[in-house]
Amino acid sequence: SVGFKLILLSLGAMNFFGLTYLGSGSGNNLIRALNVSSFSDDEFETAYKQTDKFNAGYIESHEFRILFSRVYGGEPPEYEVTFMINKFKMNPDPKISWEAFSAALQELREFAKGRDANAATEFNSASEYQDAMHKHARVQYGPQEKFRTPELTSHEYGWYAPTKVEHQPRKPKNHCEETLYASQMIQSGIYF
């Protein structure tokens, strides 16, 4: 009976600290567990060549997400893709060679080293967590800074950047013959 209670208590503690399985099905959803430093230049070069479909010797910035997805084998961290897009945003030539990409990749690795490796571990004990919740303190890192994809359904709202809504021109309302006849009758003063 005492052993059973200890098991139930430990399961409750596991739920409390988030040790139960949640999320997307990939065990490497934590950004700190897998980032750009986890892959070699050879892996990126292979993905670069696969992304360069016509063997033109260059790719364009809109293909970065595809390239990173090939390397990661899934959804890459958003900050890495955004870093690379912003790096080449002001470049007048949209063509990005392997040499330019490789140099930017080294900068990204330096940037990734500067990020907090413990982003997903904000509390070291239950008492720290309880104190923070008692003080209504905000967490240091948001879900997008901790995880590659949404872990919970509530994370899905606002997870991805909003897209621009295309302007749809208004089209005049076309009326059928009966509606046109009825509107002409009303205009002439005949109400039915």
Q: For residue range 152-192, what is the model confidence (pLDDT) as tens digits?
A: 888 777 777 666 666 667 777 777 888 888 888 888 988 76
Please determine, for residue 151, whether its predicted confidence score (pLDDT) is greater than 70.
yes
Q: What value does the mean pLDDT take over residues 23-46? A: 74
Q: For residue range 93-126, what is the model confidence (pLDDT) as tens digits?
A: 889 999 999 999 999 988 887 665 556 677 788 8
**Rounded CA Rg of the chain:** 27
- The tokens for 163 are 């897209």
Write down the residue that tokens 């980032």 correspond to: 35
Burial class (CB in 10 A: 0-12, 13-18, 19+), 71: buried
Q: What value does the mean pLDDT take over residues 80-92? A: 88
